[in-house]
Amino acid sequence: MSASNSKKYKSLTISEKKQLIEAVERGDKKTEVAKTFDIPLSTLSTILKDKNKIITASSSGGRKRNSKGEHPRLEECLVQWVRQCRGQNVPVSGLLLKEKAKSFAKELGIPFFSASDGWLTNFKKRNGIVFKKICGESSSVDDNVCSEWHRKLSTLLKNYEPRNVFNTDETALFFKCLPDKTFTFKEEKCHGGKHSKDRLTILLAVNMDGSEKLTPLLIGKAAKPRCFKGIRSFPITYRANKKVWMTTELFNEWLFSLNEDMKKQERKILLFLDNCTVHNNPPTLTNIELQFFPPNTTSKLQPLDQGIIKNFKTFYRQEVVKNVLECIESEQTPNISVLTAMIFVDKAWKKVAPSTILKCFKKSGFTIEIQETENDQLNIESIQWNSLPTQENVSFTDYVNVDEDVAVWGVLSDADILENTLSIDEDNEDDTSPLPLVTLKEASSALEKLRNFSLQSEVNVEVFDALFTIENTIEKIKLNSMKQKTITDFFKK
């Protein structure tokens, strides 16, 4: 082939790859996006597959290309190790970093790796690492620390409207735990163990006036659980790692995405969060100011810990109890998949009322005028609980609190770091199945039944608005399906 006919594709920078991802997420056709950026569709698919790494890399700033040198896995291990040391306030010198590099190189079977001064300089440039003094952290606090915090809180808040003040936190969730297994699961407070595959980590975030509950981030063990087969839309965000923990990389990705959302809305927000290891190495943020609570004080100072998370889990456990009762009635065995859990999490989070959020912020010392309501959601019992078979002295409160002390982050060993650089399992669930396919005809029929049910019941106008939205969605999917067919398809038997 002559030089004039050969096709050469350009190498994209991290910024360009991010623009490409955003274009696809806006709904632009992949063929058009590939043409615009002058790349083949196969390259586009690879970039979309590496979306999380690209977004995280772009948030660090400074680096134009995601270069990892001659030994990319070695550098990935080192970056994780450095971030963990920084999060624990462990000082890292150049000499220590070179020795750690040699140790990882030996584990990875890389021969003749000398970790020279030149390598160290290039490694730091490639990964945006700067050696600097980091602040220490007190290992114990008392009520005086909380009092001092309350005194300065008004100063921290003075430049922000209540709607622009947020709190975020992670919590563990034994998503498969059934009522009769409460005692079994409650024994496990450690970082892993026999029930680690049955738990998820959830990041929740709310604003001060209760007007915004950000989409939850759910962290699981498998990248693509079997129950995700055929699923194209999810109610909440899902990520995965082998430990089912929040990590610096996942948290920074979430922060970067939130910062981009605030840019688009032309908002600047104040985000309160706890001072844990995975939060302590954030990316450069233009529209988010981070404010850490004093160490070991979140049980008193953090709004999410004053009842919001518990309220959310109460609603989640109610969904599980309803599911168990439905299975008993239909003589089936309850089996909750990650997809089921995502649906339950979405429903439970939507049920947390603004009044509950307001009260929890007020309880944490955030000064805000609220209108007291009779419907206090902080103390909810499950109506269905008493309909279950005898629970052997397990109360609904015990069931709600079954995972309150389970770790959601932790210190990774060298073996964990090495394992994390491998690909995540796509499917580690043997007891779940994909959702059965629902046709357009079946969806339309179900919608008609829902409309008839609504007409025969006492419902408000919002129900009919929701049905109209669903009908429009079905019609759009139907039209898109017809556009994808050729004229000859209609004459085939």
CA-CA distance, 473 to 450, in Å (whole number)?
A: 15
Which pTM does this prediction carry?
Answer: 0.68
How high is the pLDDT of residue 394? 72
User: pLDDT of 368-419, one tens digit each?
Assistant: 665 555 555 555 666 677 777 755 667 788 888 877 777 777 666 667 667 6
User: Do the beta carbons of residue 202 and residue 339 sit within 8 Å?
Assistant: no
Q: Three-state SS string across the chain, please?
A: CCCCCCCCCCCCCHHHHHHHHHHHHCCCCHHHHHHHCCCCHHHHHHHHHCHHHHHHHHHHCCCCCCCCCCCHHHHHHHHHHHHHHHHCCCCCCHHHHHHHHHHHHHHCCCCCCCCCHHHHHHHHHHHCCCCCCCCCCCCCCCHHHHHHHHHHHHHHHCCCCHHHEEEEEEEEECCCCCHHHHHHHHCCCCCCCCCHHHCEEEEEEEECCCCCECCCEEEECCCCCHHHCCCCCCCCEEEECCCCCCCHHHHHHHHHHHHHHHHHHCCCEEEEECCCHHHCCCCCCCCEEEEECCCCCHHHHCHHHHCHHHHHHHHHHHHHHHHHHHHHHCCCCCCCCHHHHHHHHHHHHHHCCHHHHHHHHHHCCCCCCCCCCCCCCCCCCCCCHHHCCCCCCCCHHHHHCCCCCCCCCCCCCHHHHHHHCCCCCCCCCCCCCCCCCCCHHHHHHHHHHHHHHHHCCCCCHHHHHHHHHHHHHHHHHHHHHHHCCCHHHHHCC
Q: Write out the two tokens for 45.
A: 């698919």
How high is the pLDDT of residue 61? 47
Query: Amino acid identity, residue 350?
Result: K
How high is the pLDDT of residue 325? 84
Give the residues of the chain that fall short of pLDDT 70: 1-11, 52-53, 55-68, 86-93, 128-142, 182-196, 368-383, 390-393, 410-414, 416-417, 419-432, 483-493
How high is the pLDDT of residue 184? 63
Burial of 246 (C-beta count, 10 Å sphere; 0-12/13-18/19+)? buried
Question: Looking up tokens 């456990």, which residue turns up?
Answer: 317
